[in-house]
Each structure stands twice: as structure tokens, then as C-alpha cells.
Amino acid sequence: MAESEELAQIIAGCKKSETDSFSRLIDIYSTRCYGYFYRLTGNRDVSDELLSRLFVKLVEKIHSFRGGSFEGWLFKVASNIFHDHLRDKQRQKKLLQARIERLQEQTEPAKDSVDNRIDQLQIQLEKLDQDTRELILLRFYSQLSFKEIARMRSEPIGTTLSKLHRALEKLRKLMERKCT
């Protein structure tokens, strides 16, 4: 069975509120969505909460999906959940505090382990502004085309291309500087 047909069946099952279909949907998308949230927040606990919120929200929202790119729709919901989270002032304060602490830890000598490499990327990502960071992560985790990302962000494709190019270039330079 083709991937798209299987996904269509899963979505149809979800629309009927079938538990198994939701379970399969979670298996398919949880890693990507979790990565997206983690890279945005840099916090596992917050990412855990946002991922839970996302899939619980899907139970209510799945009926509003009217075809087209499911990834585009899913990551739009994920993005809205992240922005709702940011609007929560208290959580935002905690997030900022956690970031400050991590930036302070940056001065410690780097170890060449997988965990450390993950942290290095996280540190450099956090140096980017929120919109830029979100654009990079959306491109990477949602696997959407530039056209779809531009549509999702309600901006011309040229603007999206230009922003992402600059953002990735900046990230690359930050990473290179850190390594040298």
C-alpha cells in the first residue's frame, strides 16, 4: 500500500475517533514533532507537554483537515500550540531562565559526545531570533516544500527563501565558529 494511501486511511480512522488510528498517527509523527518542539524550546519537559497537547488537540481538530498536505496542517497546529505556549507569561519566564542557565554553561569545555553536539546546536539555535529559528526547524522537521512553508506563513515564497537562506547561513557560521 502506498504511503499516502496508508496515511489517508489513518486520517479517515482518526476522523471516526478510532483509537488505533490515532495511535498509528502518534507512531509516525511523534519523533519529528518532538524534535520540532525540543529545538524551539530547548527543554524536554516543555517538549513533552507540547507534544501531549498537540496530539490531544488533534482529536478535536482532525475534522477540520480537509485534504492537502497533512504535514503542513499538522505543523501549523504544532506551531499554534508553540505560540500559545509562548503567550503563557509564566512559562515564558521559566523558558528564558533555562536559556540563560544554558548559555552560562556554554563557557564550560566542550566534549565531543553526541549529547554535547546536540547541545551545541541548541545553543547556537537559541542565538537566532525566534522567527528565524522557527523557520529553520519548520523546514527541517515538517519536511514541507518552500511553497508550502510560504503559504503556511502567509508570505511570498521569495521572502521565505531569502529568510531561510540567511538563517541557515548564519547558523552554519555560528557552528563553524564554535568548532574552531
Partner 1 sequence: MHMKNNKKENLRELFEKFLDSHKAQQAAEDIKNAGEILQQHPAPGPSAQLLEGIKAQVAIKAAARRKAIAFRRIAYRVAATAAVVIITISVGVKLFEKEAPAPKALALDLAIPATTWDSNNLAEDDDYSATLVAEIEQIERDLLALQLDENGSNGLSVVEVLEMELNEINENFWKG
List interacting residues with partner 1 (CB under 8 A).
Answer: 17-19, 22-23, 26-27, 30-32, 34-35, 38-39, 44, 47-48, 51-52, 55-56, 58-60, 71, 117-118, 120-121, 136, 139-140, 143-148, 157-158, 161-162, 164-165, 168-169, 171-172, 175
Question: What letter would DSSP give residue 110?
Answer: P
Q: Say how many CA atoms lie within 13 Å of 119 toward its Cβ.
A: 17
Instruction: Give me the least distance between CB of 120 and partner 1, in Å please.
Output: 7
Contact status, residue 46 vs residue 92, Cβ threshold 8 Å: no
Residue 7 has φ and ψ, to the nearest 5°, of -65, -40
- Specify the residue, 17 or 130, whose C-beta has the smaller distance to partner 1: 17
Cβ 96 to partner 1 shortest distance, Å? 20
CB 9 to partner 1: min, Å:
16
User: How near is the Cβ of 113 to partner 1 at its closest, in Å?
Assistant: 12
Q: How far is the CB of 47 from partner 1 (least distance, A)?
A: 8
CB 36 within 8 A of CB 141: yes
**Of 93 and 110, which CB lies nearer to partner 1 in the complex structure?**
110
Q: Which is nearer to partner 1, 81 or 136 (CB)?
A: 136
- What DSSP string runs through 114-164? HHHHHHHHHHHHHHS-HHHHHHHHHHHHH---HHHHHHHTTS-HHHHHHHH
Q: How far apart are CA 91 and CA 129, in angstroms?
A: 18
Residue 62 has what DSSP assignment? G
Closest CA to 62 of 47, 51, 77, 83: 77
Cell 521572502, residue located:
159
Closer residue to partner 1 (CB): 130 or 162: 162
15/83 with CB nearer partner 1: 15
What is the smallest separation between the CB atom of 8 and partner 1, expressed in angstroms?
Answer: 15
Residue 93 identity: K
Q: Which is nearer to partner 1, 26 or 86 (CB)?
A: 26
